[in-house]
Amino acid sequence: MSIVDERGSGFAPDGWAYRARVGLLVPDVDIGPESEWAAMAPAGVSVHASRFRFPIDMLRKEGDRIGEDAVRFVADGGPLDEATALFGEALIDIVALAFTSTSYLGGEGADARIVERLRKLSRGRPVVTTGQAMIDALAALDAKQVMLVDPPWFPAKLSERGGAWLEHAGFSVAAALPAGLPSGQENIHPGHLYRWVRANLADGTEAIAIGGNGFRAVGAIEALERDLGLPVITANTALLWATLRALGLPTAEVTRYGRLFALPD
C-alpha cells in the first residue's frame, strides 16, 4: 500500500492516488459488487475487478434460480482460478471474492481452502471471502440469533443450506429464506427490500444478514437499522469491512451502511 498525494501538484486528479487497491473477483453476469463498492468505499480505496465465467445456462435450466451445480462450478475453480491469476503483476494489494453461496455448500473449511488456493494464484496476496467475512461480521456484532435473507434467485433449498452453514458457525437461525421479490438484478430497489424485510421479520431476530453479492441491498441498511433497531449486514458490506480490516485501514470512514463499520477496529 502507498499514499500518493496529488494536492498542490498543479494537475487535475486522475484517479491514481490511492491508499489501497482491491482486486475484486466478480461473476461475469454480475454488476452488483462493483456498484455497491463504488458507493461505499472510502476515499483512496480503489476497486479493480476481474470477472469469472458464471454458468448462466445452468441458472436458466433451473427456472432462473441458482442451483447447487452452478455454485459448485464456481467453487471448483476453473474460471475462478483463471480470473484470479489474471491479476498477475497488477498493482493490487488484496483479493476479495464477491460470491456468497460457495460458503453455503462447501462444508467445514471451505473458505480456508478457497483462500489457500487463490492466494497462490494471486502471487501471495491476502484473500478475503464473502462467507468468512459475514461470519466474522456477525461475531463482531455479538449476534446470536440471525435472520438470513437471500436474493429471490436463490432457491429455498440453497437458503436452507445457508442457514445450516450459520448454525455450524455457532449462530442460531431465526429464519433462512430468499426474499419474496421479483427475480433479476434490475428488478430490485432498496425500498422493495426494506418493506419485505419489515413485513417478514422473524421472531427473535437479533441481526439480519443479507446474502448474495449481486443483491441490491446496501441502500436499505440505514433505514432498516433505524426502524428495526437491529444490526444489518449484507454480503458486500461484510466483504468491504473485512477487506479494510485486512488492509489495516479504518472502517469508520464508511458511513450510512450499517453499525458494523462503526465497531472498533
The predicted-structure confidence for 125-153, as pLDDT tens digits, reads as follows 999 999 999 999 999 999 999 999 999 99
Q: How confident is the model at residue 120, as a pLDDT?
A: 97
196 vs 4, which has greater pLDDT?
Answer: 196
Q: How confident is the model at residue 169, as a pLDDT?
A: 96
Q: How confident is the model at residue 185, as a pLDDT?
A: 84
Least confident of 11-25, 154-168, 188-202, 227-241: 11-25
The full DSSP string for 215-246 is: S--GGGHHHHHHHH-S-EEEHHHHHHHHHHHH
Cβ-contact 81, 40 below 8 angstroms: no
Cβ-contact 36, 22 below 8 angstroms: no
If you average pLDDT over residues 27-31, what whole number do you get? 93
- Binning pLDDT at 50, 70 and 90, where does residue 118 land? very high
Q: Is the pLDDT of residue 2 over 60?
A: no
Candidates 19, 16, 17, 14; CA nearest to 2 is 19
The C-alpha atoms of residue 67 and residue 97 are separated, in whole angstroms, by 19
- Binning pLDDT at 50, 70 and 90, where does residue 79 land? very high
Q: What is the mean pLDDT of the chain?
A: 93
Architecture of domain 20-262: 3-Layer(aba) Sandwich (3.40)
If you average pLDDT over residues 191-203, what whole number do you get? 98
Q: Is the pLDDT of residue 4 over 60?
A: no
182 vs 77, which has greater pLDDT?
Answer: 182
For 38-75, the pLDDT digits (tens) are 999 999 999 999 999 998 777 665 666 888 888 999 99
- Can you give 134-148 as a three-state secondary structure string? HHHHHHHCCCCEEEE
- Determine whether 62 is exposed, middle or buried from the number of CB atoms within 10 Å of its CB (0-12, 13-18, 19+): middle
Helical packing angle, 156-168 and 68-75, nearest 10°: 50
15: left (phi over 0), alpha (psi -120 to 50) or beta: left
Candidates 71, 69, 5, 19; CA nearest to 250 is 19
Please tell me the pTM assigned to this model. 0.95
Write down the H helix ranges in 95-234.
Answer: 101-105, 110-121, 130-140, 156-168, 190-200, 221-228
Q: Is the pLDDT of residue 259 over 70?
A: yes
- Binning pLDDT at 50, 70 and 90, where does residue 77 land? confident
